[in-house]
Amino acid sequence: MICGFGFSMADSTPASSPLNALVVDDEPNIRKALSACLESEGHHVTSVVDAAAALAAVRSRSFDLAFVDLFLGKDSGLDLIPTLLATAPWLKIVVITAFAAVDTAVESIKRGAADYLPKPFTPAQVGVVTRKLADVRALEQRVANLEDTVGPANAAVDLQSSSAAMQRSVALARQVAPSDATVLISGESGTGKSILARAIHQWSLRASKPFAVVACPALSAELLESELFGHVKGAFTGAVRHNPGRLAASEGGTLLLDEIGDLPSRLQPKLLRFLQDRQYESVGDHVTRTTDIRVLAATNIDLGQAVAEGRFREDLLYRLNVIQIELPPLRERADDIPKLAEHPLNYFARQNRRWALQFTPDALGALQNYRWPGNVRELRNVIERAAILSRGQTISVEHLLLDSAQVNRVPRFGDPISLEQVEELHIRGVLSNTSSIEKAAEILGMDSVTLWRRRKKYGI
């Protein structure tokens, strides 16, 4: 018997996450019964009567799953399948029909349907099909996240490090990941702050939920407010449809506010309120909304100085700075450079069909002696350029095209440099190769207060 006609799905195990489902059938009773069946498992259902309405629905919102009748009055469900998939390639389509036959089942699969369900169907059958396709959809999302994580943008990033400072940062990130604490990640541009943020999300209990990034400098104050908090239709010129915003879209997951120091002043109180109460209003709407997300923030500027200059709210800094993790610049991780360079080299070698491409020893030495003002991001760009310029199987120094002004030559005894410069270089080296400030102070022969003053002096 069809679900909704005296049967319940209460005994079936619900899917792990609610789906947005579309029911396309010209029979009112079937639409009603199947909608009730899906809603009893917690899914969100939209039902329509014909192919035109189905296409309009898929164009106006995102669906995970669609049940499509084989015969829709004058329309053909088989013909509708490729049209729906052209609009939403991720859509999982289940063909339903009272005229089940092997040839139509085969043709449905050929046209892109994920499954085939003959009428009359039972609640258990609907539940099995729905949960199976929900698992497939979840797996696809996980694969997409994985591809994003290991894709070309992250080809040069590796959180494993021989640097004690980097090891401390990663260890702290792992320690705080299972909590819901707000984390402020600081470091120079290109050090991998967004990569560490994604790692925190993957190590957290929210790993199966969305991870979203909002780049604060990329948009005007008005567009950034809409991007973050959403807007309702008609809220401003050009707002032709409702936009839920990143906060709503990241429900249950993690949101990274990248370069938070560039957040416009007029949005800072609204963000502060959200961090305090998890409440906000969309632009043009007076309805107070709540959402369950974890907030991470990244900055390449000194927010304390920004507070002193009146560019950043002190109370917002306190809310963001529950846990602070600082990433060291690449120039303080010279021993990591050969391994960091190997990953993007292999990637760009494949991209340019240059198999077995390698660095010469001199090229590796040049990479390690360079100051890397753009950090890991600049390293990746240099290697991509070198992989294109090299014609043989090796990359030499001339292919790197490094700025000679940024070469960090290791000083020797007797070189014409001041004792202050020697002291700074030595302190930086010891700090990068020791596991704690106390151990570094012991090696340097100074107390921790004196070391703190030297670090402040040299900006370490």
Tokens of 181: 């604490």
* Continuous segment of H or E residues that includes residue 273: helix 268-277
Q: Kindly report, residue by residue over 158-188, the tens digit of the pLDDT.
A: 688 888 889 999 999 999 999 999 999 999 9
Cα torsion angle, 378, 379, 385, 386, sign: positive
Amino acid identity, residue 290?
Answer: T
* Continuous segment of H or E residues that includes residue 334: none
Measured CA to CA, the distance from residue 269 to residue 265 in angstroms comes to: 8
Does residue 152 register a pLDDT over 60?
no
Question: Which CATH architecture does the domain made up of 20-145 adopt?
Answer: 3-Layer(aba) Sandwich (3.40)
Q: Kindly report, residue by residue over 95-105, the tens digit of the pLDDT.
A: 988 876 777 88
Task: Give the pLDDT band (50/70/90) at residue 381.
Answer: very high
Task: Give the pLDDT band (50/70/90) at residue 1.
Answer: very low
Secondary structure letter of residue 13 according to DSSP: P
Measured CA to CA, the distance from residue 420 to residue 377 in angstroms comes to: 30
Tokens of 423: 């002291």
Measured CA to CA, the distance from residue 186 to residue 259 in angstroms comes to: 9
Q: Kindly report, residue by residue over 265-279, the tens digit of the pLDDT.
A: 999 999 999 999 998
Residues of the chain with CATH 3.40.50.2300: 20-145
Residues of the chain with CATH 3.40.50.300: 152-328
Q: Kindly report, residue by residue over 405-426, the tens digit of the pLDDT.
A: 787 665 656 666 788 878 887 8
Q: Kindly report, residue by residue over 208-249, the tens digit of the pLDDT.
A: 888 999 999 988 888 899 889 988 777 777 776 777 788 888
Closest residue by Cα to residue 429 from 327, 330, 325, 333: 333
Q: What percent of the chain has pLDDT over 90?
A: 38
Beta strands in 276-333 (DSSP E): 279-280, 289-290, 294-299, 323-326
Tokens of 293: 């997300």
Measured CA to CA, the distance from residue 120 to residue 183 in angstroms comes to: 53
Query: What superfamily does domain 152-328 belong to in CATH?
Result: P-loop containing nucleotide triphosphate hydrolases (3.40.50.300)
| Confidence (pLDDT) at 296 | 97
SS3 15: coil
Does residue 459 register a pLDDT over 80?
no
Q: What percent of the chain has pLDDT over 70?
A: 89
Residue 370 phi, psi dihedral angles, 5° rounding: -90, 150
Tokens of 409: 């030559």
pTM of the model: 0.63
Task: Give the pLDDT band (50/70/90) at residue 4.
Answer: very low
Residues of the chain with CATH 1.10.8.60: 331-406
CATH no., domain 331-406: 1.10.8.60
Residue 222 or 258, more confident = 258
Q: Kindly report, residue by residue over 28-81, the tens digit of the pLDDT.
A: 988 888 998 899 888 889 999 999 999 888 876 778 899 999 888 888 889 999
Can you say whether residue 296 is alpha, beta or left, with left for phi > 0 and alpha for psi between -120 and 50 degrees?
Answer: beta
Measured CA to CA, the distance from residue 175 to residue 172 in angstroms comes to: 5
Average pLDDT of the residues of the chain: 84
